[in-house]
Structure formats: C-alpha cells, structure tokens
Amino acid sequence: MSGDILKTLNANLWDADPELWELIKKEKGRQVNGLEMIASENFTTLPVLQCLSSCLHNKYSEGLPGQRLFSVVLRGNEYIDQVEILAQKRSLEAFNLDPEKWGVNVQPYSGSPANLAVYTGVVEPHGRIMGLDLPDGGHLTHGFFTPTKKISATSIFFESMPYKVNPETGLIDYDKLLYSARVFRPKIIIAGVSCYSRALDYKRFREICDEVGAYLFSDMAHISGLVAAGVTPSPFEYSDIVSTTTHKSLRGPRAGVIFFRKGVRSVNAKGEKTLYDLESRINQAVFPGLQGGPHNNTIAAIATAMKATKTPEFVSYAKQIVANAARLSDGLLSKGYKVVTGGTEVHMLLLDLRSVGLTGAKGEYILEEIQIACNKNTVPGDKSALNPSGIRLGTPALTTRGLVEKDIDQVVEFIDRGLKLAKEISAKSGPKLTEFKKAVHENEEFAKKVAALRDEVVKFSNAFPLPGYPEY
C-alpha cells in the first residue's frame, strides 16, 4: 500500500473533511451553550462514545452468538460473540433478572424497531393491540392513527385501539381501559408512555391482561435508567415482555433492547403447564424478520452502559433526575403554570400552555431561541397532534451535567421569563406562528430582549460540563 493511500485512510476527520468537522464542532457548541430539556435525550458517557467509534463497527455478524449466519463460511465472530453475550448478561443484571426466567435480545437498532419486532413476533399481521393514545402521552409505535389516516407502521400492520387518560386529571383511566379491552380483546396491551409524568400501575395492567387473555408488554424506554436504579416501580414483576431504548435515562447509546419471559406461563386446573415461546418468536422477528446484521459497536456500548447502572454514582444520578424534575414542576406551579397531572413522579413533566394563552409551538420556539431545547406536545383535550397546546420538559440531560435543585430554580426563572416574553410578542404579532417568528427576529425591541435572555442562558449553561470529547 502506498504512503498516500495509507495517509488518506488514517487521516483525522478535521483534515479529511473540514466542512463536516466544522458542523460537528458547532453542534458541540450548541450542546455546551444551551439547556437540553428534551425528555428523551441525554449526554452519553465517554466509554459509550469510545465503543461506538471502535473497530467493532467493521464486523458483520448476522444471527445470534454461536449461530451466526456467516460464521461457517467467514468465521471471525468469536470476539463479537463474547461482546454480545456480555451485553446480554449485563442487561439482565442491570434489572436484577434471573436468566432462567428472562431472556434478552440486544440487537434492535432502536426503540421503534424493537417494538415492531415484538408485535411481529407475538401479534402477527392484523392482530390486535392496545396502547396509550399519542395525544394522551403515548408513543407513535403504540398504534397511533387519526380518523382519516393510519400514522405509524404499528397502526398500518396491526389493528390498534387506544386507551385514554381522564381529561380532567390527566391520569390513565384504568376502568375504561378494562372496559375497552373486554370488548376489543387485544393480543397485547402496552404499558408505556412518551409523555406521562406519573408511575404506571403495572399490577393493574396485569390484572386487566389476565382478564382478557392478553400479553402485558411494557415499553420502559423513558424510565429504564430510573428502573435500574430502583427509584421508580419496575415493570418486570408483572410483564411478559419489556422493551427499552438505551439512550434516555439509561444514558447509553441510541439502541433498543427487548426482554422476554421464559419458562412456565400458566398452569390450568388439571395441572398442565403452558410454556412461554417468546424467545424464539422475538429473536426471529428481530433477525431475519426485520433486521440484518447487528451493530456490534452499539452492542458493546450497551454492555458498558448496563455495567454503569450498577454503580453507586448511577443510583445517585437517577435519584437526582427525579428530584430535579419534582423541583422543576413545583417551581413552574408556583409561577402559575398548569402542569398536567399536577406534578411528576419521574423524569419529565408536561406543561399546559393554554393556561397562559400560548400554543405549544410558540412555547417551544421561544425557548429554543433562548437556548433551551424542549418539544411541543399534546395535552389531554387537544384535537390535533400537529397543533398541540403543551411543551414537554425533562431533566436527565441537565442532571448529567451536574445541575441540582438550586440550579433548577434558575432554569425555572429562565423558562418563565421566556414564556412571558413569548406572550408579549404574541400579543402584537397575532395568533399565527409565522408572524410570531417574524416578530421575534424583525421587531428590534423583541430581538434585543430575546438576545439578552439568550446570553444569560448561555453564560449559565457554560458553568456545567458535558461528558465526552472536548471538541466533539
């Protein structure tokens, strides 16, 4: 190999592609200079980043350890197998699971493919599922559709019926869930959320599933780090299947994991046992059903993230996430804002901006302009997911950076000042979002106010470090 070719193959990114390198540095600057409050995001650790950029990326390994599709011909998977087995072992250990009673698949590329694999393996096409409605705090992959269109692949390939929250309290209406399940008779009921600030009643879910003969599938993507640390109720005692992403409160790579029951499912009056057959059905749905070769670098990152959950530092971190979220909720309530369900027991909350005369889109936009990242979100009673009335706020990423309760008090002040500024701008710009955005940038008075508040947020944010590489 010539020296020039070797030099090209080993060039650093900043030399090989300076245009892209500048964009990456700008993104790093955005993260350092702002407050990340999107509840599904976090800042992962340096060990995770090192796994993701390792030589494990180079190896193809379709199939499970010891059963690789190419291993007979190509070989070379002996260390890859050990990495995946380690990730499986640590995933079970992270949640204190008995390997005789639980199995795990660590190959899903992310949470949505993981959920689709569960439905594909267990429900089969046009089978029936029930999940929390998206406008009420559920997730797209739990079966969302509108009166005129099936939105998610879950609703396209399977027959879904949503359950709802009480529009007054914002809490899941388990009685109506039971009533609907008796009529609909789903194969799976999903206990999982993307924007719901209270702990789920897994025991009640189990009772409902038992009455209608359904599997209980818990999607703990948002709370898995809290579950591992023991600071929120665990779904494992009552569930048949549990899925999670690994990048939210778990603080690992962007990936998905599926846990499934093994052994005896039920015993009838004659003493005859029915065994779970979830292992083969879910594993085959992941590969070859829906995916090809697993991302071995990501599986290694899962392994090191799962190991981290067993440390005292991670438990303290998870406790602080919940404490910070509670402080955030209390602070916003004290300012006169409406928090859906009246508070939070987990890592996030949903702010109903109808109480202050703003839309979710305007709230999201003004906070982004002052370097606070959140997302607009539906609140109970909203008619359209495209025009929601709330914003979702989470504390995992802020907690990773070291913020504690006294710092959250300052974050509350920034949010309050930002939303009050949004109301002031909206009063002059009118109801349309396009006119609101125009006023933010083109009205000299408003532009100065936004810039001044942004500078305060940036200065505050810079006092808290990010894990990872200094520049990227």
* pLDDT, mean of residues 395-417: 98
pLDDT of residue 7: 84
Give pLDDT, residue 99: 97
Residue 131 forms part of a structural domain: yes
Using DSSP's 3-state secondary structure scheme, residue 233 falls into coil
Amino acid at 77: N
The catalytic residue positions are 195, 247
- Average pLDDT on 207-224 reads 98
Q: Are residues 124 and 248 in the same domain?
A: yes
Residue 466 domain flag: no
Q: Is the pLDDT of residue 378 over 60?
A: yes
Per-residue pLDDT band at 237 (split at 50, 70, 90): very high
DSSP per residue, 160-219:
EEEE-B-TTT-SB-HHHHHHHHHHH--SEEEEE-SS--S---HHHHHHHHHHHT-EEEEE
- Could you count the other beta carbons within 10 Å of the beta carbon of residue 369? 20
278, 308, 338 — which closes off a domain?
A: 308
Average pLDDT rounded to a whole number, residues 140-149:
91
Together in a domain, 282 and 331: no
Structure tokens at 416: 């309050």
Q: Starting at the edge strand that comes first in sequence, how are the strands of the sheet with 375-377 ordered?
A: 338-339, 348-352, 390-394, 375-377
Question: pLDDT tier at 266 (50, 70, 90 boundaries)?
Answer: confident
Give the model's pLDDT for residue 217: 98
Single out the residue in 246, 278, 308 at which a domain terminates: 308
The pLDDT value given to residue 233: 98
Domain residues for 93? 56-308
In Å, the largest CA–CA distance within the chain is: 80
Structure token pair of residue 264: 């005896």
Q: Would residue 39 count as lying in a domain?
A: no
The amino acid that residue 252 corresponds to is: G
Percent of the chain with pLDDT over 90: 90
CATH number of the CATH domain containing 358: 3.90.1150.10
Does residue 324 share a domain with residue 301? no
Radius of gyration of the CA atoms of the chain, in A: 24
Q: Quickly state the pLDDT bin for 88 (edges 50, 70, 90).
A: very high
Q: Quick one: which of 117, 131, 272, 107 has its CA closest to 191?
A: 131
Confidence of residue 56 (pLDDT cuts 50, 70, 90): very high
Say yes or no: 417 and 457 in one domain. Answer: yes
Cα angle, residue 223 at apex, residues 53 and 121 outer, rounded to 5°: 75
343 and 301 part of one domain: no
State which of 285, 308, 331 marks the end of a domain: 308
- pLDDT, averaged across the chain: 95
Domain of residue 149, CATH code:
3.40.640.10
Residue 49 in domain: no
Specify whether 290 is located in the same domain as 402: no
> Is residue 315 domain-resident?
no
Residue 3 lies in a domain: no
Determine the pLDDT at residue 348. 98
Residue-level pLDDT at 234: 98
pLDDT band at 70 (very low <50, low <70, confident <90, very high): low
Do residues 288 and 342 both lie within one domain? no
Question: What's the structural domain count of the chain?
Answer: 2
Q: What angle do CA 204, 171, 189 make, to 5 degrees?
A: 40
Per-residue pLDDT at 272 = 87
Instruction: Check if the beta carbon of residue 349 is closer than 8 Å to that of residue 329.
Output: yes
CA angle 423, 424, 427 (to 5 degrees): 85
Is 71's pLDDT higher than 60? no
Who has greater pLDDT, 69 or 321? Answer: 321
Handedness of CA 280, 286, 292, 295 (dihedral sign): negative
Give 281's pLDDT tier (boundaries 50, 70, 90). very high
What pLDDT score was predicted for residue 385? 76
Q: pLDDT tens digits, residue range 200-211?
A: 999 999 999 999
The reported pLDDT for the residue numbered 69 is 77
Question: Is residue 43 scored above 70 in pLDDT?
Answer: yes
Contact at 8 Å (CB) between 106 and 87?
Answer: yes
pLDDT for position 1? 62
Please check whether residues 187 and 77 belong to one and the same domain.
Answer: yes
What letter does residue 290 receive in the DSSP assignment?
Answer: I
Residue 124: is its pLDDT beyond 90?
no
pLDDT digits (tens, 9 = 90+) for 421-452: 999 999 999 999 999 999 999 999 999 999 99
What whole-number distance in Å separates Cα of residue 66 and Cα of residue 344? 45
- Determine the pLDDT at residue 74: 56
The 3-state secondary structure of 101-162, one letter per residue: CEEEECCCCCHHHHHHHHHHHHHCCCCEEEEECHHHCCCHHHCCECCCCECCHHHHHCEEEE
Same domain, 337 and 300: no
CB 204 within 8 Å of CB 227: no
Residue 428 gets the label, from left (phi > 0), alpha (psi -120 to 50) or beta, of alpha
Residue 25 lies in a domain: no
261 within a domain of the structure (yes/no): yes
Asked if residues 416 and 377 have their Cβ atoms less than 8 Å apart, the reply is: no
Rounded mean pLDDT, 345-364: 97
